Amino acid sequence: MIIYPAIDIKDGKCVRLAQGKFNDVTVYSDNPVEMALKWERLGAQYLHVVDLDGARYGEPQNIAVISEMAVNLGIPVQVGGGIRTIETIEIVLCKGIERIILGTSAVKDPKLVKLALHNFENSIAISIDARDGMVAIEGWAKTSSFTAIGFAKKMEELGAKTIIYTDISKDGMLSGPNFKAMEEMVREVGVDIIASGGVRSIDDIKRLKDIGVAGVIIGKALYTGDIDLKEALEAAK
């Protein structure tokens, strides 16, 4: 199981939002590249990066700093936020990014997903962010008509190999993951599931591993010190 330290970027800074609310921001670093290098030094095998401005405005806004991250790191980076066209996917992948995350575009444009998966295969992950079991889009500002499980199955049919599943109500709250939802997703869908949202302790990581997720994204708990990255990596082995 892979542990993904999360770096959320807003206005070029490393931040965390509570439940995705843009008016509830905590800035943890003015230098996301330095933060990325810190997680690599502590043993991270993969980084999860979100361009929050990109998610909000529909096209990447922080690609320069994210590219600088990828160039300076010796580990792969997956990136999401505002990536909604094949042209943008190609541009971002050319910046040294290992994997692109499609969220809103996956809901609004299944043809894009099909083409992206055909052209780039394992370089594409689908992000499913759920509020009360329904898929949220556009930086979590709107809710779609899809259930999380139903949409995941649809993405599996299109050829997706990796799904990042976030429970919005848990994100940035240090209240523990939605284990029931994660377990259901792992049971119902035959692709790699990366769990995200609310992870607050080593016990949470161990429980998610037992459920069978392929990876765990950890954000706020790393920045507050509630979770030590080295301990998390050990628990994931």
Residues assigned a catalytic role: 8, 129
Query: Cα angle at 176 between 174 and 178, to 5 degrees?
Result: 130
Rg (CA), the chain: 16
Nearest CA among 204, 188, 128, 126 for reference residue 159: 126
Rounded Cα distance, 233 and 67, in Å: 25
DSSP 192-227: EEEEES---SHHHHHHHHHHT-SEEEE-HHHHHTSS
The phi, psi pair for 96, rounded to 5°, reads 95, 5
The packing angle between helices 148-158 and 110-120, to 10°, is 50
